[in-house]
């Protein structure tokens, strides 16, 4: 039986490591997902509906990796489907693929580790100090 992963359950886990373990899939690089039908998910990701949901998820998660406060993603933010999508989901316009309850912000490295990694990526919160964002007061 397939277990449905949810954002509500994920955010009860306090650490990045626990959230990563909850999401990891343990797949292999080169495994066929959409194959020759890859154009379907590329069309989906260019829709206004997806772009709106993507923006909403980024705002909700404060652009933080796995929504862990303090782990801001400095560049390319990937919205990860916590429950892998299939060609049939896109063709049938399943509401699950745009439901924020099944989506989470990840960095590129974290996303790849969820799908293909065997180890948890190292993510640590940096201790904040006075003037740590002021370049001339280091």
pLDDT 10s digits, 38-57: 677 788 888 999 999 999 99
Residue 135 has pLDDT above 90, yes or no: no
Going from N- to C-terminal start, the domains of the chain cover 7-121
∠ CA(79), CA(58), CA(34), 5° rounding? 15
Residue 132 has pLDDT above 80, yes or no: no
Tokens of 3: 């277990």
Q: Chain-centre distance of CA 21, in angstroms? A: 13
Residue 27 has pLDDT above 70, yes or no: no
């Amino acid at each position: 039986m397939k277990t449905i992963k949810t954002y509500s359950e994920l955010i009860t886990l306090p650490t990045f490591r626990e959230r990563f373990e909850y999401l990891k899939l343990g797949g292999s690089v080169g495994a066929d997902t959409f194959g020759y039908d890859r154009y379907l998910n590329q069309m989906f990701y260019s829709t206004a509906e997806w772009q709106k949901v993507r923006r909403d998820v980024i705002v909700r998660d404060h652009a933080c990796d796995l929504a862990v406060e303090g782990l801001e993603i400095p560049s390319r933010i990937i919205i990860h489907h916590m429950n892998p999508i299939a060609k049939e989901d896109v063709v049938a316009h399943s509401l699950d693929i745009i439901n924020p309850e099944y989506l989470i912000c990840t960095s590129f490295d974290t996303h790849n580790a969820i799908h293909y990694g065997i180890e948890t990526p190292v993510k640590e919160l940096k201790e904040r100090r006075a003037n740590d964002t002021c370049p001339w007061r280091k």
